[in-house]
Amino acid sequence: MGRTIHFEETVTSTQKIAQSLANDGVQEGTIVVADQQTNGRGRMSRAWYSPSGTGIWMSMIIRPNIPVNTTPQLTLLTAVAIVQAIEELTPLKPDIKWPNDIMINGKKVVGILTELQAEADQVHSVIIGTGINVNQKIEDFPEDLQNIATSILIETGTSWERAQLIQTILLRFESLYSLFLSKGFKPIKLLWESYAISLNKVLIARTLKGTVEGIAIGIDDDGALLIETCEKKIEKIYSADIELK
């Protein structure tokens, strides 16, 4: 990973640049990193706040030979790689909130956005975008984010070298990705479960189709969250906002 890194000062979104590079046929492992995004995108068409000089705004292009419905597994794999990198470099112990939020002390420090280019049922390329709040102070966040977002600086009291974090994340990603390609999702799933805060808790999942309330009993082999409702029915959730109760 990261043998070719495109570094840009300011872009609309690293996802957009990575998508056009993927269309041009660049090799797997190509990375786009920007100091600042003017139109950073989050899940569910939300904006992602991406100011200059503080965070890691990065998109990775990979080309796994997998069917479209297994790509949520790569989001979970990326979350594990980032948690491992943060644990390796800092004293922090982040948790993962399904599917892709990395939390420290109940506040979001990292978001992951996985987008696909596919033909029929087969993946052509996957663009994994990661937004990591590294050196923001609390007052650097817009007011509406101050209660829900945090950064590695806020949690540790010191600032961190973004390049070193990127390097460690790419190394961790590379080794988990080879494990995934050789042994499948099972070992990744076990690691993911060891970091998950959403498991065995009562929660509400707000999906585009409605709300599901129940206990999160695990994740399925395709990366979906399994919720047991009070009627003892198991619901599979692929995309939702999760509120822990």
Enumerate binding residues for ligand BTN (CB under 6 A). 13-15, 37, 40-43, 46, 48, 50, 57-59, 101, 111-113, 129-131
Chain position carrying tokens 């100091």: 35
Q: To the nearest whole angstrom, how small is the minimum distance from the Cβ of residue 55 to ligand BTN? A: 8
Report whether 173 contacts 60 (CB < 8 A). Answer: yes
Q: To the nearest whole angstrom, how small is the minimum distance from the Cβ of residue 48 to ligand BTN? A: 4
Nearer to ligand BTN, 72 or 131 (CB): 131
Rounded CA separation 10/227 (Å) = 41
Q: To the nearest whole angstrom, how small is the minimum distance from the Cβ of residue 52 to ligand BTN? A: 13
Nearer to ligand BTN, 34 or 227 (CB): 34
Residue type, 159: S
Q: To the nearest whole angstrom, how small is the minimum distance from the Cβ of residue 121 to ligand BTN? A: 25
- Cα atoms in the Cβ-side hemisphere of radius 13 Å centred on 221: 4
| Residue closest to ligand BTN when measured from CB atoms | 111
Q: To the nearest whole angstrom, how small is the minimum distance from the Cβ of residue 165 to ligand BTN? A: 14
Nearer to ligand BTN, 84 or 130 (CB): 130
The C-alpha torsion from 3 through 6 and 17 to 185, rounded to 10°, is 30
Reported as type and span, the H/E element at residue 108 is: strand 107-119
Nearer to ligand BTN, 31 or 199 (CB): 31
Nearer to ligand BTN, 84 or 114 (CB): 114
Q: To the nearest whole angstrom, how small is the minimum distance from the Cβ of residue 63 to ligand BTN? A: 18
Nearer to ligand BTN, 58 or 196 (CB): 58
Beta strand pairing status for 31-37 and 210-219? Answer: unpaired
> Cβ atoms within 10 A of the Cβ of 25, count?
8
Nearer to ligand BTN, 13 or 150 (CB): 13
Residue by residue, what is the 3-state secondary structure of 175-193?
HHHHHHHHHCCHHHHHHHH
Q: To the nearest whole angstrom, how small is the minimum distance from the Cβ of residue 92 to ligand BTN? A: 18
Long-range Cβ contacts of 51-55 (<8 Å, 24+ apart): 51/136, 51/140, 52/10, 53/135, 54/133, 54/134, 54/135, 54/136, 54/140, 54/151, 55/131, 55/132, 55/133, 55/134, 55/135, 55/136, 55/151, 55/162
Rounded CA separation 99/128 (Å) = 13
